[in-house]
Amino acid sequence: MLKIENHWFTPSDEVEHIACPKNTQLFDRGQPDTIVIHYTAGKNGISSAHYLAKDNVKASAHLVLDRSGKIIQLVPFNTISWHAGKSSYAERSGFNNFSIGIEIDNAGILEKTGDMYKSWFGKKYTADEVVKATHRNESTERYWHTYTEEQIDTVQLICEKLMDTYPTIKYILGHEEIAPGRKQDPGPAFPLNKLRTILLDSRQESGSDKFANAIGFVDVDGLNIREMPSVNSDTVAEPLPEGTKVRIQAKHNNWYKVTAEIEGWVAADYIAFNE
């Protein structure tokens, strides 16, 4: 059972923390709105996690997932990590500023040698760990390391938990989509489209309901609470003090209808989640 407390998954048999003190910059208000999926192209999950946590490495990620589905968290979810690099999609660039990065332990592209398949770092894999497929950015088939069922299931659980905790999240993208040509991960062995169908389409059908019942906190020193979602509308009470816990009832443009001691509308920019 995954639980988020103060922007970290609670440690358990399935969750480990590794400190990554180089990442200290918090996301702007309203971010993150995207989850970016990667593969590590490394030897194993724990070695990739330790590498990404190093002070002298100019890369990192929020999460690394090993082959068993175990989660290693490096960076809290309210903090920017360095997983996207030079990236752009739908007229935005620099996706580190908008996204949570999940690195999945997977060797990536493999070369066939005899009966075996070899990774760039020289490890050999048998045919049952290999899929021949065409990448979405390419036109010919190549060999790709498969993901384990545990990894695919756990990625879905992680995304569900993140989207429940951070209602700002509304996109799931592959690194290959925000850095096409430069990056191939997570590649065709990962069921990215299916994940989006399961997680995003069902939520979009319920529209603004995805905000309903989320718990937020006032993130400004005194937040006006109004009768209607407009700055011209009368306030219904004294401004809500910073830290006031509110339950989101509905969203309209850039306003949330919230219940605190009193019900009314507040500017969405000044509500934080999971603090």
Sole window of 139-147, 184-192, 211-219, 235-243 interacting with Zn ion (rule: CB under 5 A):
184-192
Three-state SS string across the chain, please?
Answer: CCCEECCEECCCCCEEECCCCCCCCECCCCCCCEEEEEECCCCCHHHHHHHHHCCCCCCCCCEEECCCCCEEECCCCCECCCCCCCCEECCEECHHHCEEEEEECCCCEEEEECCEEECCCCCEECHHHEEEEECCCCCCEEEEECCCHHHHHHHHHHHHHHHHHCCCCCEEEEHHHHCECCECCCCCCCCHHHHHHHHHHHHHHCHHHHHCCCEEEECCCCECCECCCCCCCCECCCCECCCCEEEEEEEECCEEEEECCCEEEEEHHHEEECC
Q: Does 175 bind Zn ion (CB under 5 A)?
A: yes
Q: Does 177 bind Zn ion (CB under 5 A)?
A: no
Q: How far is the CB of 132 from Zn ion (least distance, A)?
A: 22
Q: Does 226 bind Zn ion (CB under 5 A)?
A: no
Q: Does 38 bind Zn ion (CB under 5 A)?
A: yes
Q: Which is nearer to Zn ion, 53 or 260 (CB)?
A: 53
Q: Which is nearer to Zn ion, 38 or 226 (CB)?
A: 38
Q: Does 62 bind Zn ion (CB under 5 A)?
A: no
The mark string for 116-155 relative to Zn ion (x by CB under 5 A, - otherwise) is: ----------------------------------------
Q: Does 185 bind Zn ion (CB under 5 A)?
A: yes
Contacting residues toward Zn ion, per CB under 5 A: 38, 175, 185
